[in-house]
Amino acid sequence: MDKTEGTQNFDPLRTWREWYQKSEKQWSDTLSGILGNDQFAQTTGKYVQEAMHLHRMFTESMAQYLAALNLPSRTDIIALSDRVGELEDHVAGLQVEVRHLRRLLAEYEGGADDAPIRPKRTKKPKESAGEKD
């Protein structure tokens, strides 16, 4: 067998694909074994609970610290943002009502504010021949 015949059958993509599939299977088996372990699940659950407790304590202590300095906390700013948003919605609703009332008032008084201003008609239409009798 010649050296050139051996290199002609070499497919680097096939070799890479086989390596990738074997590697993926090994990682999958290893991680499935670790994640399926009850001890791992309990340890992870305890870690998450401790992290949440630490976060809650930090948030509360920071809120107390900011209150002592007479500064707003993140919760205060979010609440204020919500209130401002509600006020904006109410103002927008009032603007719609005012526009509607203006339109009704203009129609009641005889003309619409939004209607374009047109000059008065001074020329009368021509009478047709059948109407002159």
**Splitting the chain (133 residues) into consecutive groups of 10 residues, what average pLDDT does each group show?**
61 92 94 89 94 95 93 92 97 95 86 59 71 53
Q: What is the pLDDT of residue 25?
A: 95
Q: What is the pLDDT of residue 36?
A: 86
Using one digit for the tens of pLDDT, what is the confidence trace for 83-121? 999 999 999 999 999 999 999 988 888 755 555 566 677
User: Which amino acid is it at 26?
Assistant: Q
Burial label for 45, CB within 10 Å (0-12, 13-18, 19+), is: exposed
Helix/strand/coil (H, E, C) string of 53-86? Answer: HHHHHHHHHHHHHHHHCCCCCHHHHHHHHHHHHH
Q: What is the pLDDT of residue 127?
A: 75
pTM more than 0.85: no
Q: What is the pLDDT of residue 131?
A: 56
User: Which amino acid is it at 94?
Assistant: L
DSSP letters of 13-52?
HHHHHHHHHHHHHHHHHHHHHHHT-HHHHHHHHHHHHHHH
Burial label for 101, CB within 10 Å (0-12, 13-18, 19+), is: exposed
Q: What is the pLDDT of residue 60?
A: 92
